[in-house]
Amino acid sequence: MIDSLAPRPGAAPLPRMLLSQARMELRLILRNGEQLLLTLIIPLLLLAILVETPFVPVDGRRVDVFVPGIMALAIMSTAFTGQAIGTGFERKYGVLKRLGATALPRAGLLGGKTLAVIVVELLQLTVVLGLGVAMGWRGHPGPGGVLLMVALGTAAFSGLGLLMAGTLRAEITLAGANLVWFLLLFFGGVVFPLSKFPAGMARWLEFLPTAALADGLRAALERGANLPVQPVLVLAAWAAVGLGFAAVKFRWE
């Protein structure tokens, strides 16, 4: 009996630390009004504007073109922009330094943030798709294909966001993440379809993560599981590079 009450010093198992960190990260995201504006309100407003106005000429039904693009934008906003800015200022104010002094490993921190991002994205995609259905979107989505593209897109953008937040000053991360968000919004196949760009330019833009994610989601939402190979490979490459460098270069302070 005495032995059973003896303290057992040591770190908790990694899965428990991972889930605990993910719960904390999720609460922080949901409490941040600016992040909710970026990740939820702006994508919904853009979808409504792009579908209901002839601001951007497209081939085919506007709602079919823009629903996948706005879903890609939502994933980028959460996994890249919001995460990069939030983590960058956590690093500046010493939050990550204090976490680094605990038993939480770097993989636990990065994994917890990624899990929280996935939960927020599921909420985003549900709301965006619901608005799309209300505006007339009708597709034949393949759940496996959609989940694959969401997972690859999340991994790619999370890696890039954490790499930026873990290596640059918070102020530079803030400016850089917003600049990248706007550039990918206009050149990444979200607002302007790549078919509207010159052919030589469009061939290079296809390798941007937003273009690959929007293309893959469009195929998964319209044709089920018959995904084109190129978007999958492009996102997998971005994910491998971003997460690989983030794991090596990320600094607690």
pLDDT 10s digits, 149-197? 999 999 999 889 989 988 889 899 989 998 999 899 888 888 888 888 8
In this prediction, residues 65-77 reach a mean pLDDT of 90
Residues near 148 by beta carbon (within 8 Å), at least 6 away in sequence = 216, 220, 227, 232
Position of tokens 């607002």? 191
Mean pLDDT for the stretch of residues 203-222: 90
The mean of the pLDDT values for the chain is 83
pLDDT of 6 > 80? The answer is no
Q: Which of 246, 176, 245, 235 is nearest to 207 (CA)?
A: 235
Rounded to an integer, what distance in angstroms lies between the CA atom of residue 116 and that of residue 39?
13
pLDDT, mean of residues 24-33:
76
Residues in the chain: 253
DSSP 197-214: S-HHHHHHHTTSHHHHHH
Predicted local confidence at residue 12, as pLDDT: 67
Q: Give the residue-averaged pLDDT of 40-44.
A: 84
Is the pLDDT assigned to residue 93 strictly greater than 60?
yes
The pTM of the full predicted model, rounded to 2 decimals, is 0.84
The CB density around residue 11, as the number of other CB atoms within 10 Å, is 12
- Residue 213 pLDDT exceeds 60: yes
What pLDDT is recorded for position 7?
56
